Structure 1
Amino acid sequence: MTLLTFLAFGWDKRLAKNGKRRLAESVLLILTFVGGTFGALIGMTYFRHKFSKKTFIFKLIVVVVVQLAIIFLLKEHLTNQ
């Protein structure tokens, strides 16, 4: 998932540079949510992509916080059994 998300950020950057129709932000965020967090962060850094979009950064932070909350809740649930 990390590799797929990384490649999606690179592909979106390429589309942006060529003035073509881009991937929807929701696609990038969904890929991030379902396991591509590190790929998203590495892709954003490597391709220098989406850093200037404050709304995207906010949404990405929300995705990471939700992921951390899910991990915490699962850990608590599984260790209390």
Structure 2
Amino acid sequence: MDISVLVLLYLMAVNIAAFHLMGKDKKKAKKRGSRIPEKTLFLWAIIGGSIGSIAGMQYFRHKTRHMTFKIGMPLILLLQIYLFGRYILGLII
């Protein structure tokens, strides 16, 4: 299997998981159950799930008022886009 296919599968899996975690945390918040730590949500974004995290925030209307998430998640995505363009595609940005 080609490395680009493996990277794509990895990114799909991480983004699906990050999206799911946002939904799971929202459900727990409504039921006042034990929550998923914010560190964990950010970790999933950092390891490649920023698109899934942002999509989950919007879809579930979760963490959209928290400035750390409102600003932090898009910044993580921008950094990932920059690093991808710079080091994977070899673009000079």
Query: Can you give the 5+ residue segments of structure 2 that lack an aligned partner in the other structure?
Result: 1-13
Matched positions, count: 77
Deviations 1:29-49 (A, max 9, x none): 111122212211221121111
Specify the alignment match of 1:27 in structure 2.
40
Partner of 2:90: 76
Q: % of aligned pairs identical?
A: 29
- Relative contact order, higher structure (CA 8 A, sep 6+): 1
Return the alpha-carbon distance in structure 2 between the equivalents of residues 65 and 38 of structure 1: 10
Moved over 2 A (4+): none
Contact 2:51-2:77 at 8 Å conserved across structures: no
Q: Which runs of 5+ in 1 are unaligned?
A: none
CA distance in 2, matches of 1:3, 1:27: 15
| RMSD, aligned α-carbons | 1.6
Show the 5 A alignment for 1:1-81. Answer: 1-74=14-87, 75-76=89-90
